[in-house]
Amino acid sequence: MSSKAPIGVFDSGVGGLSVLRALRAELPHEDFVYLADSGFAPYGERGDAHVITRTRTVTERLLQEHQVKALVMACNTATAAAIDLMRAAYPHLPLVGVEPALKPAVALSKTRRIGVIGTRGTLGSAKVRALHESLKDQAEFILVPCDGLADAIQNDDASQIAELCARYMQALGSFGNEEGQIDTLVLGCTHYPFAQQQLAAHAGENVTMIETGEPVARQTRRLLQAADLLKAQGQGQVALLTTGSPQVLEAAARRWLGI
């Protein structure tokens, strides 16, 4: 495997661009191939069998057509459903997933009351349930599945984004720095950072929001370094692929990545 090969990144849609943004900042010399599996989305409201099948199909495409040297699963739902299977199937491929940042939230929260928003598939997964169980003695977590929010962000539907953010933030309860209030909010879907402004309007300025892009980027660097696959020079390029609407992906990349 060559250090000059690109890094594959995929999500069910445009949400993984938030992770790609962090990857490009951390690894400016690297080339990336981003695949939005929008034609088979949303993952978060489908069963595990669908998500596993799509993850396998996308992984094979990125390996065979683009010879990627590493794969970032920039999708919480795909990570929860399929990453263990993918690691077993591709033991020599550096593989990075994302999961809701519950551990970092525990370290930051002063009130010990933490909100977690994500897709129904992510929050209901065995992986997240086990993570929640392991931390429940350290903080109280309020988990709210946000049906439709990732799709609204995918479609850049401003009115629906505003309506759903208001609904789900209200469902979480009270925000603030007092006892019994949520002072930390985990964005458990890679689409949600692109609605951070709308979410913050309901949370208030003292609430910390945590996403996963930067930790994922640092872990990707560590794995590439360990495998001696880091690209040391050159200006990294990005190829954008989708199984859905090219116009949606192009508009999102222009809006959020400036490309």
Same domain? 110 vs 201: yes
Which sequence positions are flagged as catalytic? 75, 189
Is residue 247, in this structure, part of any structural domain at all?
yes
Is residue 251, in this structure, part of any structural domain at all?
yes
Is residue 2, in this structure, part of any structural domain at all?
no
Same domain? 125 vs 72: no
Same domain? 88 vs 134: no
Q: Nearest CA to 207 among 98, 114, 84?
A: 114
Average pLDDT on 147-160 reads 93
Is residue 1, in this structure, part of any structural domain at all?
no
Same domain? 142 vs 227: no
Token representation of residue 245: 């609407």
Same domain? 16 vs 56: yes
Average pLDDT on 166-184 reads 97
Torsion of CA 208, 213, 219, 225, to 10 degrees: -140
Residue type, 74: A
The CATH code of the domain that includes 130 is 3.40.50.1860
Same domain? 110 vs 13: no
pLDDT band at residue 259, thresholds of 50, 70 and 90?
confident
Q: Which helix (H) or strand (E) holds 147?
A: none
pLDDT band at residue 213, thresholds of 50, 70 and 90?
very high
Same domain? 187 vs 226: no
Query: pTM score, two decimals?
Result: 0.89
Is residue 148, in this structure, part of any structural domain at all?
yes
Q: What are phi and psi of 44, to 5 degrees?
A: -65, -15
Cα distances (angstroms) measured from residue 180 to each of 103, 114, 175, 176, 235: 19, 10, 9, 9, 48
Q: Is the pLDDT of residue 42 over 90?
A: no
pLDDT band at residue 5, thresholds of 50, 70 and 90?
very high
Same domain? 112 vs 168: yes
User: Rounded mean pLDDT of the chain?
Assistant: 94
Same domain? 185 vs 219: no
Task: Report the chain's C-alpha Rg in angstroms.
Answer: 18
- Residues spanned by the domain of 20: 7-98+213-257
Is residue 125, in this structure, part of any structural domain at all?
yes
Same domain? 154 vs 238: no
Average pLDDT on 171-195 reads 95
Same domain? 146 vs 185: yes
Residue 172's pLDDT is: 98
Same domain? 205 vs 109: yes
Is residue 129, in this structure, part of any structural domain at all?
yes
The domain tally of the chain equals 2
* pLDDT per position as a tens digit, 66-81: 999 999 999 999 999 9
Average pLDDT on 156-173 reads 97
